[in-house]
Chain A
């Protein structure tokens, strides 16, 4: 216990130096940009630097429902072509149902339905009812795809707003975490990512009279859609054909611009979209074309002439900001499913700065008091423990910086707590030395025994705390995770400094001096 091989001494000194080197960038935080990637200060959490945290849920069941809706539409067409009579064709939740009243036609109907889509399972119920559901694998696949796609689109939308260094990552099955440092009002971003931005062009059903529209009586294949918020001048509802003539997927560009001094959004389709748009507008001159965004009609202008160039404009009573946002959303693409904000936490830069100040003050005071306490209790050896504590702080900060870990306010609390607990190992060792001296051992002997006997207790005690910290990391989220990280690193580095660094100092002191008695 009282002998250190040369390589061991060197290693200990090197580790301590590495701690100092890696924590150094924190002292020159302002110049961090000019430092190499591996030599950066510790990242500050959103609660310290200010920013917004959003937890979003992808409503992936909508994708399934949408898929079934499409299935129902093709089933309608196929059943009609095959002259099979059907009742109650529709979607409820994640199941589509249809009833075939004629018992003779049920067999062929089932074959026909099963042939529509091989991802769909058709089961026969009572009284000629058939239930269609997506099979497990297709369901998982679609949901997964929806989440992946949503992440991509959220990233594009957030990037377009010019937020610096956003973090967007998946959590669990259907959730997305968005972290926006420096954003203190996430409302605009919430508005942007909260919108599906699904743009479709439909024909307005001219056969429906205003009376029928008010009464809600429309032919099959036509639905009633409300006017969008900005569309205050037109009628409150529109009879719109369900069939999508052209969809926003085909857009290659969208920009805010002006027409007759009114803010509008101009867009351009890709080749296929342009061709579809040209065909629809050629065949339906004089008919109203409804521009539908997220299930509401923005406007429904009359098609005056065929539009063959593949580009057009969306007009409505827009404000300038609205055209900018809409253009952005259209460029970034539609979300495959609606997103829901489950959790939002925003810390303003003022509170963040206050937290840093409070945390720093508490750390300094805690540190100073522990130093005084150790010096007063253990004299010279206490001084060595204090040096070890310093080394411990450098190691902790250096490791956090090196790992690119995030420092949160609870993380600062973890550092403060570590300082209190770090001296525990030294206290254990020193107390043991005192005890052994009282038992009549020589100086050398009691120092050696002190280190050896205390070691077992130190390991057991720290491993148990580490277990708690590990679970905290696993179950915690955000700031709490940051606390678990600093606590764990602090426990490990404090074991190293208390056992190795202090011992090295004591051994050196013992070898050089001519001490006769324990200085504590």
Chain B
């Protein structure tokens, strides 16, 4: 059974790197806008972080919202918001924002007062009360979680790759997180604990995407020692393009079904994730990879990193032999066509011997 659908044309040679300046400027502007928005109008904290009282109730009959609002405001509890939610017109949501110095007793009294206004026969679907102390602690835990996960991911990348990759990954991660936060700030979407979970997940997703491309960059670096960095990055991006698109699409499909069918409780979470998948995919192609150009990628160190077993060395040598020929002549070769892979040991033996003789010297050179 052959594939019915080929979403991505095979063997693309899109020059992603050409647009890198435009993309980096765009990303910079988006980040700046996000930071400004976060500074000016901050985040619309949900009850988890702001503290307060939230009541979601199904009234016996469709309520008179205006009248109810007046009665709630008459309680003099502080900022009360009353909204209609869901498909059933009997469903309402009330949120009371307490002043920052409210005590736990006051919050409990607030809840009782709200329940008093709603009266009897109400089906309380959700009641939440978060004390100001807990809210503050949850914010702190959220900041720790996001920062530490970025740090841990970056350390792992550093360990597995080179520091340039770690920095590229970090920039991309911060980029994704900041812009998603910015989106929440600009659109005044409610920011709560599940949104933090979504942020961490999108960090995990975005880095997943980035690592796959970085892995390919590293592979190509080892193989094409003389190819220009820009061409090499383009090559790696093109070679992983179909996978990038396919995976993003499947994940996006799953998340979109959550967004539309997962119910109110998960709406903000799925929205953050859906946006995160898009921005994460973009940042892989246009931030994480292009940024490598601006670092002094010590290509030889990276290329020779994993000279482990003798088997691999021979293989690598053979590859070099197979590819070095044409590439040596044209430094900036548009490689894809001439690319051959590691096991194509079809190189002339004379050449292979030469190369494997050279290898150890490089190793010594690094140690100095």
Contact = CB atoms under 8 A, between A and B. Distances in A.
A412 B193 CA distance: 16
A307 interface: no
A81 interface: no
A465 B257 contact: no
A176 to B, nearest CB: 13
Question: Is the contact region of chain A dominated by helix, strand, or loop, or is it mixed?
Answer: helix
Contact of A420 (B124, B216, B219, B252): B252
Interface residues of B, number: 83
Contacts of B5: 376-377
Nearest to A487: B201
Contacts of B208: 421, 424, 461-462, 464-465
B230 to A, nearest CB: 21
Interface in B101-152: 104-105, 108, 111, 123-131, 133-134, 138, 141-142, 144-145, 148-149, 152
Contacts of B269: 410, 413
Nearest to A350: B125
A286 interface: no
A431 B243 contact: yes
B203 to A, nearest CB: 5
Nearest to A360: B261
Given A361-B261, A435-B239, A462-B208, A342 B133 contact: yes
A449 B319 CA distance: 15
Contacts of A383: 1
Given A344-B128, A377-B246, A472-B197, A464 B3 contact: no
30 contacts: A185-B124, A340-B131, A343-B131, A344-B129, A345-B129, A347-B126, A351-B125, A351-B126, A358-B261, A359-B263, A365-B261, A366-B254, A376-B5, A380-B1, A412-B262, A416-B257, A416-B258, A424-B247, A436-B341, A438-B11, A445-B343, A457-B212, A465-B208, A467-B156, A468-B203, A468-B207, A469-B200, A472-B145, A483-B194, A484-B197
Interface in B189-226: 193-194, 196-197, 200-201, 203-205, 207-209, 211-212, 215-216, 219
Nearest to A465: B204
Given A341-B131, A350-B58, A413-B269, 18 more contacts: A184-B124, A341-B108, A344-B129, A362-B261, A373-B249, A374-B250, A376-B3, A413-B258, A413-B262, A413-B270, A416-B254, A421-B250, A427-B246, A435-B239, A465-B208, A471-B200, A480-B194, A480-B196
Interface in B142-175: 142, 144-145, 148-149, 152-153, 156-157, 160
A459 to B, nearest CB: 9
Interface string B232-256: 0000000110110011011111110
A423 B128 CA distance: 37
A472 B152 CA distance: 12
Interface in A347-370: 347-348, 350-351, 354-355, 357-359, 361-363, 365-367, 369-370
B273 interface: yes
Interface of A: 47, 55, 184-185, 190, 340-348, 350-351, 354-355, 357-359, 361-363, 365-367, 369-370, 373-380, 382-383, 409-410, 412-413, 416-417, 419-421, 423-424, 427-428, 431, 434-436, 438-439, 441, 445, 449, 453, 456-457, 460-469, 471-472, 474-477, 479-480, 483-484, 487, 519-520
Pairs of residues from A and B, 8 with the lowest C-beta to C-beta distance, nearest first: A358-B263, A420-B254, A420-B251, A468-B204, A475-B145, A465-B204, A366-B254, A351-B125
A382 B1 CA distance: 10
Contact of A377 (B3, B124, B194, B212): B3
Contacts of A417: 201, 251, 254-255, 258, 273
Most B-side CB within 10 Å, residue of A347, A464, A466:
A464
Interface of B: 1-7, 10-11, 56, 58, 104-105, 108, 111, 123-131, 133-134, 138, 141-142, 144-145, 148-149, 152-153, 156-157, 160, 193-194, 196-197, 200-201, 203-205, 207-209, 211-212, 215-216, 219, 239-240, 242-243, 246-247, 249-255, 257-258, 260-263, 265-266, 269-270, 273, 339-341, 343
B125 to A, nearest CB: 4
A519 B4 CA distance: 11
Contacts of B205: 421, 465
Nearest to B194: A410
Nearest to B241: A431
